[in-house]
Amino acid sequence: MSWEGLGVCQPNQQIEALDLKGNFRSNGPDPYFTFPATDIYPGKQYALEMDIRSDVKSTATLYFRTEEDDRFSERSTIKLPVDCGENSLSFILPSARLKPAIRLDPLARPGCFTIQNIVLRKID
């Protein structure tokens, strides 16, 4: 699976793809996708924009890595609420010394969700 600017994604074992149209089921409390080779370059600012439909209220979390913190950790996250139904989320990444890998936790609990659109774009 690949999305614009994000490269190939790797879902963990708590995400089940229901079809090839962006429909997924979270089977646990920590579902996530990793994107090991995005189009992120240090010194630039980016936004990850995502349209997601969910059948549960939850939180979406974007983890990013920097040259100072090379692991995914709570210190380097952006959290946004996800309501039942349609959601348009925009995660604005900091511009300082980013590394290209990111991790997206679309929900923080079991539930079904659809990623209708997701794109990583550079902010000018």
- Split into its structural domains, the chain has a count of 1
> How many whole angstroms separate alpha carbon 22 and alpha carbon 118?
10
> The pTM is what?
0.93
Question: β-pairing, 111-123 with 23-26?
Answer: antiparallel
**In terms of Cα–Cα distance, which of 65, 72, 52 is closest to 113?**
52
Give the CATH number for residue 49: 2.60.120.260
Q: Which domain holds residue 69?
A: 2-123
Any idea how long the chain is? 124
Evaluate whether 77 touches 121 at the Cβ level (below 8 Å). Answer: no
Q: What is the mean pLDDT of the chain?
A: 92
User: What is the pLDDT averaged over residues 69-98?
Assistant: 92
Angle at 93 between CA 91 and CA 95, to 5 degrees: 160
Does position 60 have pLDDT exceeding 70, yes or no?
yes
User: What is the pLDDT averaged over residues 51-56?
Assistant: 97
* pLDDT bracket for residue 90 (50, 70, 90): very high
User: What is the pLDDT averaged over residues 46-54?
Assistant: 96
Helices (H) and strands (E) in the chain, counts: 0, 12
* pLDDT bracket for residue 2 (50, 70, 90): low
pLDDT of residue 39: 86
pLDDT of residue 79: 98
> How many whole angstroms separate alpha carbon 119 and alpha carbon 5?
6
Helix (H) or strand (E) holding 47: strand 45-54
